[in-house]
Structure 1
Amino acid sequence: MVELFDDGIAMMMLAKAPNIDLLGVTVVAGNTWVSEGTAYAIRQLEAIGITDIPVLQGVRLSFAPNRVENMREEIQLFGFGEGYSGSFAYEEPTFWKDVYTSRYKQEPTFGPTDMHAVNFIIEQVKRYPHEVTILAIGPCCNLAMAVRMAPEIIPLIKRVVYMGGAFTVPGNTTPAAEFNWWYDPEAARIALRSPFKEQIVVGLDVCNQIELRKDRYERIVGLLTKEKFQAMLHDNFLQTTFEERPETVWHIWDIVAAALCVEPSILKREMTRHIDINTQQGLSYGQSLAFAHNPPTGTQPVRIVIAVDEKRLWQLIEESCRSF
């Protein structure tokens, strides 16, 4: 979970959507550590005036042992694409509240729920069988752990929507792998091989088509007028990037997945494939694989989003931001 773009906006869209009951925000390590993501989630819910949605801290470490050490060897041997490793690049902060007060110079008005995110997922799926959609816009650690601990929830989940993977385009973290699934390929494999009723993947195939330039960014953040948003914009990575390099072409990822949950009709083109993740250490570690024929045993059919209605997508984003 980061501030605002990208998954912060996605979370707030879901929280404010009138057709969605956001049961909770389950934080996982990925772009940031869990303690940071927790602080950012709480701040953003405060900013939009919704403090009764539970925020839950989840899995801190990837499934594979010695993941960071192996990553360093991976970089030395095979290079590193865009060179982005998320929370792997720095030390983990110890406590979410320290992150919050250091960043925002004030005390939070509420804190995370005293339950692990994995237990919360299991609890909510059993409480609302065949009704819960899980939106996995980070690494799949929480979901994978939930189905490992309680496999009986698999047929009870309505659908899983992922932001992850790259099938017809190169990866971003490495030439082979997209960041979310590269961060924990083992967790992604467990989740994607689970026989859920429906799985939808929003990967780089569609997200690379959706460009965010400085003028559109400024128009959107100009809608975020509340005081609590201002600290998020100060020293914000994307804000700084556009100030220093105004010609930058960025993309959105998690927002696209969230928008599909809010308004499924924006989906314009898709393909169904059995998909898998390479968990063998090497040049293609974390690569997402799609099979039209003769898939590996144990893989599941997944809907891969190829194109969305971009005009309506941006309208939906701006409508949501006005409601914040």
Structure 2
Amino acid sequence: MLKYRLAALWLGLTLGALPAAAQERVILDSDYTTIGDDGQVGVMAMQLHAQGAINLLGITVVAGNNWLPQEVSDALKAVERMGLANTVGVYAGARYPLVHDYKTMTYERDLYNVGGSWFRRPEPPDDQLTPPLDGFATKAKVQPQHAVNFIIDTVKKYPRQVTLLVIGPVTNIALAIRMSPEIVPLIKRIVYMGGAFEVRGNTTPAAEMNVWYDAEAARAVFRQPIEQVFIPLDVTNTVQANKTIFDKVTANKDHIVSKLLLNSGFARSLQQNPKATANIYDTLALAYLVDPTYATEVVEMWVDVDTNWGPSYGHTLGYRDTQKPAANHLQKHKVVLRFDNERFFKLYVDLLTRPVPVLMKKELRGTSAVQLRTTLQEFAVILTKPRPS
């Protein structure tokens, strides 16, 4: 326990050096999973919230990686596991895309051999849920307010102060704007993991999953005059976890994040092939939100989405100034193309190995400078002490 508290103190000092822009209100909009990239973002964001680096106002869940009830169940367990069940609310959102339905998706599966949890069976009954390794949530309850209404009310409550971290399909955001278009100028910015601008898609040859799943919603939001930043496959393809990173995150076999990862598909892949790598798409979007200087190459593009049924459905279109169509309905947005990988992975490993449940910032108050210096010296001794063979 001392080691965990020391680690939390160390993290507090590290995060205290983050730029002031990181101290902002955030809604995490996610097609949540237990320990996939969405679940990892949840862990990392809640650690940042606990240390005061961001104010995580809530988690809004949208169908995408799985059917909505399973995602909500996973998100509820996540906030409970992190000790924030009474602090960070979970809000159930859109159960289906605006237009893209299951029958159409099955056609695309047959055409393009794409897959995912949402293809494996028709929608199951709500009570047929799969628990994570540590069981279902017993205390955390889904909030009675719909996610779309929560987004609307929160943006109005904190005008031009709320960043939407959108790491799933854009359905909830599109519905919020359609229901209350007056929130458009009140949204501070939107940071996405989504899109494939100049690289092959990961769902169909043309499309990245989050955009493809609800292309109509994505197009509606991308065309809004809101500051929007894209972390697309163009950059996430170049920042992949390998065995070295995996071993660092799972070094403490008693840590719940380690246990979950050791039970993951990536762990099985590494057993078969130690040179295997894994995409950790969404985690880059959180890092950019906290500190945009993680991005080392950013361009501006006029962004749109192809919503015509066919092989290009869901293709994210990005036009440079010289390529921009004559139509004036497009908006210019930032598109991240390269990341500081080494610096990012330090943050990634650090946040995923912090104590769980989290230690809130207030638990660290009252520590004198002398106590803090002594504690950090003890921490350094622990880190350098050789492990018993």
Length-normalised TM-score, structure 1:
0.91
Once the two structures are overlaid, the 10-residue window that deviates more, 45-54 or 159-168, is 45-54
Structure 1 Cα separation of the partners of residues 292 and 70 of structure 2: 30
**Corresponding residue number in structure 1 for 2:97:** 62
Provide the aligned length of Structure 1 versus Structure 2.
317
Give the unaligned 5+ runs of structure 2.
Answer: 1-31, 356-389
Query: Residue by residue, what CA displacement relative to the aligned partner does 1:125-182 show, whole Å, maximum 9, x if unpaired?
Result: 0000000000110000101111011110000000001111011111111110011111
Taking structure 1 as reference, are residues 114 and 229 closer, same or farther at Cα in structure 2, changes over 3 Å only?
Answer: farther
Q: Note if 1:46 corresponds to 2:80.
A: yes
Separation of aligned partners in 1, 2:131 and 2:120: 22
The counterpart of 2:295, out of the listed 255, 262, 267, is 267
**1:212 aligns to 2:241 (yes or no):** yes
Q: How far, CA to CA, are the matches of 1:291 and 1:119 in structure 2?
A: 33
Per-residue deviation, 1:100: 6.1
- Report if aligned partners of 2:76, 2:141 keep a CA contact under 8 Å in 1: yes
- 1:79 and 2:112 aligned: yes
Q: Secondary structure at the match of 2:192?
A: strand
Secondary structure at the aligned position of 2:303 is classed as strand
CA spacing shift, 1:106–1:128, aligned 2, 3 Å: closer
Shift of residue 107 of structure 1? 5.0
> Residues 102, 312 of structure 1: CA spacing in aligned structure 2 closer, same or farther, 3 A cutoff?
closer
- The equivalent of 1:2 in structure 2 is 33
Mean Cα deviation higher: 22-31 or 247-256: 247-256
Q: Distance in 1 between matches of 2:159 and 2:205?
A: 39
SS at match of 1:23: strand
Q: Distance in 1 between matches of 2:155 and 2:102?
A: 32
Please identify the structure whose Cα radius of gyration is greater: 2
- CA distance in structure 2 between the aligned counterparts of 1:260 and 1:3, rounded to whole angstroms: 22
Which position in structure 2 is the counterpart of 1:307? 338
Q: CA deviation at 1:105?
A: 4.0
Amino acid at match of 1:150: S
The counterpart of 2:204, out of the listed 153, 174, 183, is 174
1:299 maps to a residue whose letter is L
How high is the TM-score relative to the length of structure 2?
0.76
154-163 vs 249-258, which moves further:
249-258
Q: Give the aligned CA root-mean-square deviation in angstroms.
A: 2.1
| SS at structure 1 position matched to 2:347 | helix
Q: 1:135 to 1:223 in 2, by over 3 A?
A: farther
Deviation readout 1:17-49 (Å, 9 max, x if unpaired): 122000000011111121111121122222222
Give, in whole Å, the separation in 2 of the partners of 1:209 and 1:102. Answer: 30
- Matched residue type, 1:320: L
Say if 1:206 and 1:188 are closer, same or farther in 2 by CA, change over 3 A. same
The verdict on how the C-alpha distance between 1:113 and 1:229 changes in structure 2, with shifts beyond 3 A counting, is farther
Look up the match of 1:156: 186
Q: Which residue of 2 aligns with 1:37?
A: 71
Q: Does 1:242 align with 2:270?
A: yes
Whether contact under 8 Å (2:193, 2:232) holds in the other structure is yes
Distance 2:165 2:200 in 1: 23
Aligned match of 1:298:
329
- Letter of the structure 2 residue corresponding to residue 308 of structure 1: F
Report whether the alignment pairs 1:221 with 2:250.
yes
Provide the residue aligned with 1:123 in structure 2.
153
The separation in 2 between residues aligned to 1:64 and 1:110, in whole angstroms, is 32
Q: Distance in 2 between matches of 1:233 and 1:87?
A: 21
Distance in 1 between residues matched to 2:205 and 2:141, nearest whole Å: 39
SS in 2 for 1:99: coil
Q: For 1:19, which of 25, 46, 53 is the aligned residue?
A: 53
The offset of 1:91, in angstroms, is 3.4
Change (3 A) 1:229 1:39: farther
User: Which blocks of at least 5 consecutive residues in structure 1 are unaligned?
Assistant: none
Comparing 212-221 with 153-162, which one deviates more in the overlay?
212-221
User: 2:347: which partner in 1?
Assistant: 316
1:192 maps to which of 222, 237, 261: 222
Structure 1 residues 229 and 120, CA, compared in 2 at 3 Å: closer, same or farther?
farther
Structure 2: how far apart are the matches of 1:114 and 1:131?
A: 24
Partner of residue 12, structure 2: none
* Cα gap change, 1:225 to 1:281, in 2 (>3 Å): same
Report the alpha carbon displacement of residue 73 of structure 1 after superposing the two structures with TM: 2.5
Q: Residues 22, 246 of structure 1: CA spacing in aligned structure 2 closer, same or farther, 3 A cutoff?
A: same
Letter in 2 for 1:121: I
Give CA-to-partner distance per residue, 1:269-319, whole Å, 9 cap, x none: 111011110000011111011111333431111100011111110011122
Q: In 2, are the aligned partners of 1:201 and 1:304 still within 8 Å (CA)?
A: yes
Which letter does structure 1 place at the counterpart of 2:228? Q
